[in-house]
Amino acid sequence: MRALLLSSLSLLSGVPCLSAQKMPAAGDPDRVVAVYPLAEAVDRAMEHAGRSLRGDDVPPQTMRDECHKRLRNAICRFVQPPLGDGEHVVDLGSERLVALVRPTQAAWIDDFFRRLAAADHAARLDATFERVTIPAARLAEILGRQDLPDHVEVLLDAEQLKALHTGTRERDGPLSWRFPHATWMIFGGGMSFVTDWKTVPLRGQDERLVAPVLGTVHDGVEFEVQYVPLPADRIGFSITGEWNIVDWKTPPRSKHIGDRDYVIDEPDSLATKFDATLTMDKPVPFAFGRRIGDDVMLMVFVPKSR
């Protein structure tokens, strides 16, 4: 891929990159090499930046680099047709992207940047969210499916959303997006447990004290959701994260020190990553989650336009 890009880009050297530049890929008649300037798109995104994903003040260059990365990631995740083998969108310096793609994909990227140029970057997309635990058989019935995969990502209509609310709802809260920034959240919390025991000397004494060694495990979900304006007036949501499900029923074990047994209650846990994209014509409720035994744990989002 590197040799092909270098060969094709050498023919574009010296050409001012004020708009997308395209040429046939060297040795590949089915693809083109396109160079896209990012400065204008990043400038507009920066107008309404100022806070990092986790709410801390960050230097302008750090935020600029973040905007650049998220623009590139949005293209890679949503381009149509999807990227296949031998097709790439990568950075070309700090202010440009280079794409080795089919002509139809290059046309989609052109439309993507036109949509961004016309979009109101000050506009927010607001939502509420909650975690719902529901039997897998019941969720399959609600969605009209015979069976469910281990990972679920689905758009919901009003009746399906109402039916989901019969499950165990654990919490809800506000959420707000501005493209290209993503919202990063942790749902659940850190739980402490005794992972070992050790003896420690007491200062100024010959005696030793048996003390626990503590560990912490996150029981819940950590995720990031990005809202993306797409060509043809569509919108997309890019979702990445990790579920960590802790089995607190794991039998404890013990460690014998001196004449006593000390309990170690380290639980087993199941960690699984997820990576999903959802596209829609307008903001509608959606959910993503995974099966945990006979149940499904879902994060349910209810977007609403401002």
Quote the distance between the C-alpha of residue 49 and its chain's center.
Answer: 19
End-to-end CA gap in the chain: 43
Q: Retrieve residue 110's tokens.
A: 């052109």
CB 31 within 8 A of CB 140: no
Closest CA to 36 of 137, 111, 127: 111
- pLDDT at 168 (0 to 100): 58
Alpha carbon distance 47, 158 (integer Å): 36
pLDDT value for 90: 92
Q: Residue 295: its pLDDT value, please?
A: 85
C-alpha dist (Å) from residue 47 to 55, 134, 190: 17, 42, 36
**Model pLDDT for residues 128-174, shown as the tens digit of each residue:** 888 888 899 999 999 999 888 888 899 999 999 989 876 555 555 66
Share of the chain above pLDDT 90, in %: 26
What distances in angstroms separate CA 205 from CA 62, 208, 210, one per listed residue?
Answer: 53, 8, 14
Under 8 Å between Cβ of 295 and 131: no
Query: Residue 54 — very low, low, confident or very high, per pLDDT cuts 50/70/90?
Result: very low
Q: Tell me the pTM.
A: 0.76
What are the beta bridge partners of residue 184? 224
Per-residue pLDDT averaged across 16-28, rounded? 69
Q: Which pLDDT does position 121 carry in this prediction?
A: 59
% of the chain exceeding 70 in pLDDT: 84
Length of the chain: 306
State the Cα angle at 274 between 195 and 143, rounded to 5°.
Answer: 120
Of residues 295 and 44, more confidently modeled: 295
pLDDT for 13 equals 44
The residue-averaged pLDDT of 194-213 equals 86
Q: Report the pLDDT averaged over residues 240-262.
A: 87
pLDDT at 15: 40
